Amino acid sequence: MAFFKKYNYSTIWGNALNYLKAQLGLQQATKKLYQVEKLDIPKPQLKFKEKVDNSETIWKPTLMYKPNSMQPLDLQLELKSDGTYEYCHPYKYELENFHPPSWQLKKKLTKRFQPLEDTPLYFIDKEDKLHDMLENLKTCSEIAVDLENHSPRSFQGITCLIQISTRDTDYIIDTLSLRSELHVLNDIFTKPTILKVFHSAEMDIIWLQRDFSLYVVNMFDTQKAAKKLEFPLSLSYLLTTCCQLNIDKNSKKNFQMSDWRKRPLTKSLLKYAREDTHYLLYIKDVLTNALIENNKEDLQSLLNVYKESTEVCKKVYAKPVNSEFSFLHVLRRKRKNFNNRQLFALKELYKLRFEVARRDDESENHVLSNSILIHIAEKLPISDKEILNYNENFLSENITEIKKINEQARKLPHAPCLEDIKNVHNKDCIDKIL
DSSP 296-345: TTT-HHHHHHHHHHHHHHT---------TTTTHHHHHHHT--B-HHHHHH
Residue 68 pLDDT more than 60?
Answer: yes
pLDDT per residue as tens digits for the range 181-239? 999 999 999 999 999 999 999 999 999 999 999 999 999 999 999 999 999 999 999 99
CATH 1.10.3330.10 at 328-433, yes or no: no
So where are the chain's domains?
2-40, 77-313, 328-433
- Give the confidence band of 25 by pLDDT, cuts at 50, 70, 90: low
Provide the 10 A C-beta neighbour count for residue 105: 15
- Give the confidence band of 11 by pLDDT, cuts at 50, 70, 90: very low
Give the model's confidence band at 415: pLDDT under 50 very low, under 70 low, under 90 confident, else very high: confident
pLDDT at 16: 45
Using alpha carbons only, how large is the chain's radius of gyration in Å? 24
Closest by CA position to 146, among listed 113, 115, 170, 127: 170
Render the burial of 402-432: b for 16+ CB within 10 Å, e for the rest. bbebbeebeeeeeeeebeebeeeeeeeebee
Q: What is the pLDDT of residue 253?
A: 72
Select from 93, 96, 86 the least CA-distant residue to 69.
93
Q: How far apart are CA 371 and CA 361, in angstroms?
A: 21
DSSP labels, 91-117:
THHHHHT----GGGGS----PPPPPGG
Q: How confident is the model at residue 419 (pLDDT cuts 50, 70, 90)?
A: low
Q: What is the pLDDT of residue 206?
A: 99
Span 81-85, average pLDDT: 89
Quick one: pLDDT at residue 430?
A: 58
Distance CA 120, CA 291 (A): 31
Instruction: Give the span between the Cα atoms of 210 and 154, in whole angstroms.
Output: 13
Q: Which residue has the higher pLDDT, 426 or 340?
A: 340
pLDDT of residue 82: 85
CB of 59 closer than 8 Å to CB of 319: yes
| Model confidence pLDDT, tens digit, residues 155-197 | 999 999 999 999 999 999 999 999 999 999 999 999 999 999 9
125 has a pLDDT exceeding 70: yes
> Are the C-beta atoms of residues 379 and 372 closer than 8 Å to each other?
no
The Cα 237–Cα 243 span in angstroms is 10
Contacting residues for 286 by C-beta, under 8 A, at least 6 apart: 110, 242
> What predicted TM-score, i.e. pTM, was given to this entire model?
0.87
In contact, 165 and 275? CB cutoff 8 Å = no
Question: Per-residue pLDDT averaged across 118-144, rounded?
Answer: 98
Written in H, E and C, the secondary structure of 359-422 is HHCCCHHHHCCHHHHHHHHHHCCCCHHHHHCCCCHHHHHCHHHHHHHHHHHHHCCCCCCECCHH
Hey, what CATH class is 77-313 in? alpha beta
Q: What are the pLDDT digits (tens) for 241-281?
A: 999 998 776 667 778 789 999 999 999 999 999 999 999 99
Burial of 119 (0-12, 13-18, 19+ CB in 10 A): middle
Q: Using an 8 Å Cβ cutoff, are 379 and 403 in contact?
A: no
| Predicted pLDDT of residue 18 | 52
Q: Which of 17, 39, 14 is nearest to 29 (CA)?
A: 17
Stated as kind and residue range, the H or E segment containing 76 is none
Distances (CA, A) of 375 to 191, 370, 380, 415: 51, 8, 8, 19
Identity at 10, one-letter amino acid code: S
Distances (CA, A) of 230 to 6, 107, 190, 226, 305: 53, 20, 30, 6, 13
Lowest mean pLDDT, pick from 19-28, 109-118, 193-202, 213-222: 19-28
Confidence of residue 19 (pLDDT cuts 50, 70, 90): very low
- What is the structure's pLDDT at 226? 98
Which residue type occupies 424? V
Helices (H), 88-193: 92-96, 127-137, 186-189
Task: Report the pLDDT value the prediction gives residue 145, as an integer from 0 to 100.
Answer: 99
pLDDT at site 191: 99
Question: 77-313 and 328-433: same fold?
Answer: no
What average pLDDT does the chain have?
A: 89
Percentage above 90 pLDDT, the chain: 76
